[in-house]
Structure 1
Amino acid sequence: MSSSKPLHSPLRTTTHRIRSAIIITVAMAVTGIVAAGAVVVSTLASSSGHSAAAVLSPGLGSIGVDALGADGEVDDEVSVFDDDVPAIANLDPALLDAVRRAATDAAALDDVTFTVNSGWRSPSYQEQLLREAVDEYGSEAEAARWVATAETSPHVSGDAIDIGPFDATYWLSQHGAEYGLCQIYANESWHFELRPDAVADGCPAMYEDPTFDPRMQQ
Structure 2
Amino acid sequence: MSQITTRRPSSRKAFRSTALGLVLLAAAVIGTFLYQSASSSAPSSSDVLRGDHGGTTAEADGAVTEDDGTLPGGVTVFSDEYAGVANLDADLLQAMREAAAAAADDGIDFYVNSGWRSAEYQNQLLSEAISRYGSEEEAARWVATAGTSLHVSGDAVDIGRSDATAWLSEHGAEYGLCRIYRNEPWHFELRPEAIDHRCPRMYADPTHDPRMQQ
Compute the TM-score of the two structures, normalised by the length of structure 2: 0.70
The 2-side partners of 1:162 and 1:98 are apart by 14
* Amino acid in the other structure paired with 2:98: R
Q: Report the equivalent of 1:177.
A: 173
Aligned positions of 1:133-144 closer than 5 A: 133-144=129-140
2:73 is the counterpart of 1:76: yes
**SS in structure 2 at match of 1:70:** helix
User: Which of 100, 107, 110 is the aligned partner of 1:111?
Assistant: 107
* 2:138 counterpart SS class: helix
Alignment of 1:1-218 (within 5 A): 68-108=65-105, 110-218=106-214
Across the aligned residues of Structure 1 and Structure 2, the Cα RMSD in angstroms comes to 0.8
The share of aligned pairs that are identical, in percent, is 64
Q: Which runs of 4+ in 1 moved over 2 A?
A: none
Post-superposition Cα deviations, 1:139-186, rounded to whole Å, max 9, x if no partner, equal: 000000000000000000000000011100110010000000000000
- Cα distance, 1:203 vs. partner? 0.0
| AA in 2 matched with 1:87 | G
Select the structure of larger CA radius of gyration.
1
Q: CA deviation at 1:136?
A: 0.3
Ranges in structure 2 where 5+ consecutive residues have no aligned partner: 1-63
Which one-letter code corresponds to 2:67 in the other structure? A
What is the CA-CA distance between 1:68 and the residue it aligns to?
Answer: 3.6
Q: Distance in 1 between matches of 2:65 and 2:141?
A: 27
Q: Which runs of 5+ in 1 are unaligned?
A: 1-66
In structure 1, the partner of 2:40 is none
